[in-house]
Structure 1
């Protein structure tokens, strides 16, 4: 059995970049494992993972083989016809090869490849001790760490993310004589910068975590993260609330501290009049604090996480409260001033803000969105006038001071302003609330995995907004290319599709896209004419984009984004392709067809019918005669074709209502019952009969069958 010992490598630094720290640690860990693997050194990894704090990167492996396995080598030499002369004596080529290998030529072996027989030198050498290979392994792993911008320190040429001050490399209880950044490896680490004096001597790798813990350094990031969560939650409960622990904020805090300690703080309650999203944003993004909520609403308490257990916690608390107050005061000032200004005034300012050079101002965009919203609204039982009015205010808060300071509050700020704006006092309470909420919801989904808008009005606005963004982007020549997508059109296409599908809105997406494309093309042409000072009719503008072509491209673009959407839902690619081939006008209808195909694919008849449909398509494609529009019963000579014709007519009658109602599962279930007649037809009937009239009639029967088989999806796509 191979002898193994635990391995510890620790690289001690000054405070590493917070956001880069987990990636640096993972790269170091992976680099050490890769370097060991390249040398064939066995590793018992167990549950080992990267260990790190702001001041160190560490690799701790529970078992590493102390010796390489035997090293086998095989060096090909000259071919026999070159290596030996006519008398079988070695040529200079063979003698040189043997001399280089350090053996007599007679000790060489022979092997054969595609070109013939050749000499080969095979050798087996004992593996090197791991301790002798580790210096090179350590430096290989360090070199593999992706440091975007190296830092220099001292009078030498070394670079790293931050200056390096100590190096620990232990294999078992033995110090490995490694060197990196001019530092000789030892067994002395360092504890907490302020809470521990002197070195922390590591006797054995397995003592590492406990030794640093005693020196007030929690080196395991998972344990450190959990301690933060536990302490923050406990501190919030102590003041009667619940901590808001954002994953991104938590990850950064865990990379800022080595010995976390939660400190409960508070701010003046009058700041709670400011939108809580602004206060939460500044606490999390700027100060890395954890807000405390009571009943889902922000309270005056928050939790800071110190890097030390202070002897005077009150001073730490004062410091945290002091740094947050100016930002809150700014947010309060911006909010109060915005309320005084009002949404109408903000909205008027959009006329001076360019949205996109070819598409005009933000006010122009708002007008297009309002037109689209007014068109969509009556189709989903939303008042068109309310939809238009909401859309007309949908970008007003972009002119607010609060959104200028906190861009992530766009829409959220509008909701607060709409609830307090006197210009909306004429609206009934419910309409005003719906309008305010829709201004916020229109931005949803804001990110991958986010929910779509909740209210019907919010959904209408979200759909109209994305329709215009997509159409405008394509009309202005901003189609995504490769990784470039400056207007986030891919994200908007997926947001549009999700908003329609998940809302259950049976909208004609083709018609809406065509409407949006026409508005966008008009905007581009009008802007071009205005820029040129040209008042000529549209037809005189050079090369205007074609709205119809644009609409087709946009529809296909949206379908392409749906491919990934259904892939995430584990829908097989062939199911998606089967529905996409029909290009349904309604995306909600598209979704229902996807579900139906999933059910159909589980039926025992599915594979055979899919194969039959594929066969029908191929036969019809190759037909060299005109196919009649109707089947003539008088020309149905064979029993199998008469039976199929009767079954097809029956299934047309059975599925007509289901298809009209969008009950695709029921329709496909009826179609599945055609399998016996279809199988019998292809077994007994020659489609390409010599008599032209009979052949044409059979093709007409197959076409009628194929039309109904393809009424839900192109099921031939399910056939391999």
Structure 2
């Protein structure tokens, strides 16, 4: 049984980049495991994971073999007809091979392959001690780390993400000698920069986490994260609210501290007159603080900061946190007040001076196109067309606001606040004003992967119109994504459009919508000999379906199901979604596989027929019992499925089609389609075509057949 010892590798540095820290830690961990595996060194990984703080990256493994297994090698030499002469004496080829191997030719072994016998040199040597290999393993793990902008320090040529100050390398209780990045390995780590300035000796790897904890360092990021959450929540509840703990903000704070300590803070209530999203944005993005919300979800005049120290004078830390946030809040308040005085109408007029895209005109031009599209879509989904036009026309106005200029992430959100109090909307009933305000905000949804689509019908109309114009304009202007480049976020807009249409239940003709958006833009100059181009509707449709394919894959829809529906190219994405659900139910039926195979067979037969297939079946030419039975079943299923298809009840339609399996199986078992009589043959082809047409009425079910 292989003898193992726990292994600890710790690389101590200056504070590492916050955004890169988890990735660096994972890469260091994976690199060490890969380097061990390449040398055949067995590892008991257990529950091991990357350990890290802002000042260290660590690999802690519960068991690593203390030596490599035996190292066996086999070097193939010349074949016997080349290695030996007619008298059986070694040729120069064999003598050279033996000399290179360092043995007499008589010590070589023989092996055989398809070409015959040949000489081979086999060796077995003991494996190296893991302790001897560890310095090289560490250097390999470091070299494999993705560091886009490595730093250099001192007078040497080493480079890393940040200057390196110490290296701990322990295998069991043995401190391994070696060096990496100019630092000699030892058993001394370092504690918290301010609360424990003495070295921290590590007796054995298993002591590592606890030894650092005693030195005011939490090396386990999960433990550190849990402490941050617990302390922040406790501080917020003590202040009478609940902490807003956004995942990305939490992760950044976790990468900033080694010993987190929550500090409850406050700000002046007068700042609550500012849109809370602006205050939350500056707290989270700029200062990495945690806002405190009331039971109603509204921001309170409280927040929680997380210090990297247990200060003897916490009041001073609190005052520092409150002091740094006040100027940002004051700026937000000033911007909001000035924007409110300016008004949406003035902001909207200013859009004419801002270029949206060189070929697509100004933001005012875009807003006008979106307004026309929204007005056209609205009546199709039961939304007031005039309200849709008015909301869409204002939907970009806040891009001219000072608040959005300072906080770009508030696009739409700021517009909602301005619309709720803007005098230009005083002619509207309160509910209509609220609908426009909400729609201005919801037009941007979904803002990111996993975000909800717009909630209100008017918001959905604006979200659809906005993305239609962006996609049609992007394609017409030659801005189609290439590789990883997508400057106008057309992929995200395509998925957002599809998700909004499907999720809203709007049964809209996608090609007609795309054509309307393309017509509003018109042909644009391509820059090549004065030529012009417009968006290709089929290309746009396929682009949207391609994004939808990935969305369904994430939901667990098999690619064959998607392909089966996409083959029919439904005009409505909502209808597309209903067909996807139906094909999923059909695929679970016991008859599905056989019918899919039969449908595939039918289409192959029809494709190879080489004759004109009659439009109707002649009952007089149905001579075989099995073909008469199938013809009767097909006519019956047409009657049964007609109403279901008309109503879009695809599950019911496919359930009826599944009942055709016995007659289909019997037909192919007993009837020869390519009969000698041309009339009989054509009639049987007509029967199969009628059957195939109905089998493919919901989806191309032949796609389900392997």
- CA positional deviation for 1:178: 1.0
CA deviations on 1:544-577 (whole Å, 9 max, x unpaired) are 3256xx1111111111111111111111111111
Say if 1:262 and 1:304, in contact at 8 Å, map to a contact too.
yes
2:682 aligned with 1:696: yes
Equivalent runs, 1:524-673 vs 2, <5 Å? 524=524, 542-546=530-534, 550-673=536-659
State the 1:114 CA deviation.
3.8
Q: If the length of structure 2 is used for normalisation, what is the TM-score?
A: 0.98
Corresponding residue for residue 660 of structure 2: 674
Secondary structure of the structure 2 residue equivalent to 1:496 = helix
- Give a deviation string over 1:402-429, Cα, whole Å, max 9, x none: 0011100000000000001010011111
Task: Please tell me whether residue 63 in structure 1 is matched to residue 63 in structure 2.
Answer: yes
**RMSD, aligned α-carbons:** 1.5
1:34 Cα shift? 1.2
Runs of 4+ in 1 over 4 A off after TM superposition: none
Asked if residue 355 in structure 1 is aligned to residue 356 in structure 2, the reply is: yes
CA drift of 1:103 comes to 2.1
5+ residue gaps in structure 1?
A: 533-540
Match of 1:537 in 2: none
Q: d(CA) in 2 for partners of 1:129 and 1:17?
A: 35
Separation in 2, partners of 1:193, 1:109? 63
| Correspondence for 2:107 | 107
Report if the CA contact (8 A) 1:44-1:61 is conserved. Answer: yes
State the alpha-carbon separation in 2 of the partners of residues 215 and 686 from structure 1: 85
Is 1:165–2:165 an aligned residue pair?
A: yes
Q: In the aligned structure 2, how far is the partner of 1:99 from the partner of 1:693?
A: 83
Question: Over residues 360-416 of structure 1, what are the superposed CA-to-partner deviations in whole Å (9 max), with x where a residue is unaligned?
Answer: 111111111111111111111100000000000010000000001110000000000
CA contact (8 A) 1:167 1:186 kept: yes
CA contact (8 A) 1:266 1:301 kept: yes
Cross-structure match for 1:32: 32
Q: Distance in 1 between matches of 2:577 and 2:697?
A: 15
After alignment, is 53-62 or 93-102 more displaced? 93-102
SS in 1 for 2:106: helix
Q: Which secondary structure state, in structure 1, belongs to the residue aligned with residue 77 of structure 2?
A: strand
Instruction: State the 1:650 CA deviation.
Output: 1.1
**CA distance in 2: counterparts of 1:353 and 1:9, whole angstroms:** 55
2: CA distance, partners of 1:686 / 1:42: 63
**Cα distance between partner residues in 2 of 1:338 and 1:704:** 66
Look up the match of 2:400: 399
SS in 2 for 1:185: strand
State the 1:342 CA deviation.
Answer: 0.5
Cα separation, 2, equivalents of 1:703 and 1:2: 68
Post-superposition shift, 1:542? 4.6
Give me the whole-angstrom Cα distance separating, in 1, the residues matched to 2:90 and 2:610: 73
Contact kept, 8 Å, 1:438 with 1:461, in 2: the verdict is yes
1:636 CA displacement: 1.9
Shift in CA distance, 106/483, structure 1 to aligned 2, threshold 3 Å: same
3-state SS, counterpart of residue 668 of structure 2: helix
Maintained 8 Å contact 1:521/1:544: no
Which deviates more, 14-23 or 386-395?
A: 14-23
8 Å contact kept, 1:291–1:303: yes
The 5-angstrom pairing of residues 123-134 of structure 1 reads 123-134=123-134
**Number of the residue aligned with 2:472:** 471
1:316 equivalenced with 2:302 (yes/no): no
- Which residue number in structure 1 is paired with residue 347 of structure 2? 346
**Which whole-Å CA distance do the structure 1 matches of 2:207 and 2:275 have between them?**
50
Deviation of 1:634 after TM superposition, in Å, equals 2.0
Q: Report the Cα distance in structure 1 between the residues aligned to 2:340 and 2:210, rounded to whole angstroms.
A: 56
- Give the aligned partner of residue 50 of structure 2: 50
Question: Cα distance, 1:304 vs. partner?
Answer: 0.4
- For residues 492-534 of structure 1, the C-alpha deviation after alignment (integer angstroms, 9 at most, x for no partner) is 1111110000111111112111111211225x37xx9xx99xx
Give the equivalent residue in structure 2 for 1:705: 691
Q: 1:76 aligned to 2:76?
A: yes
The 3-state SS of whatever aligns with 1:707 is helix
1:126-165 correspondence to structure 2 within 5 Å:
126-165=126-165
Shift in Å at residue 173 of structure 1? 1.4
For residue 690 of structure 1, report the CA deviation from its aligned partner: 2.4
Distance 1:418 1:371 in 2: 20
Show the counterpart of 2:375: 374
Structure 2 distance, partners of 1:496, 1:64, is 52
Give TM-score, length-normalised by structure 1: 0.96
2:575 aligns to what SS in structure 1? Answer: helix
Measured after TM superposition, the shift of residue 113 of structure 1 is: 2.9
SS of equivalent to 1:589 = helix
Q: Match for residue 452 of structure 2?
A: 451
Q: State the number of aligned residues.
A: 705
Q: Which whole-Å CA distance do the structure 1 matches of 2:166 and 2:625 have between them?
A: 90
Cα drift, residue 543 of structure 1: 3.3
Please state how far the C-alpha of 1:100 moved relative to its aligned partner: 2.5
Match of 1:503 in 2: 504
2: CA distance, partners of 1:135 / 1:676: 71
Check the 8 A contact 1:138/1:178 in 2, yes or no. no
C-alpha distance in 1, partners of 2:136/2:169?
A: 12
Structure 2 counterpart SS, 1:321: helix
Q: Which moved more, 1:96-105 or 1:355-364?
A: 96-105
Q: Structure 2: which 5+ residue stretches go unaligned?
A: none
Give CA deviations for 1:193-233 in whole Å, capped at 9, x if unaligned: 11113211111111111111111111111111111011001
- Partner residue in 2 for 1:178: 178
Tell me the CA shift for residue 458 of structure 1: 0.4
User: Which structure 2 residues correspond to residues 81-480 of structure 1 after superposition, within 5 A?
Assistant: 81-295=81-295, 296-480=297-481
1:323-351, CA deviations, whole angstroms, 9 ceiling, x for partnerless residues? 00000000000000000001110000111
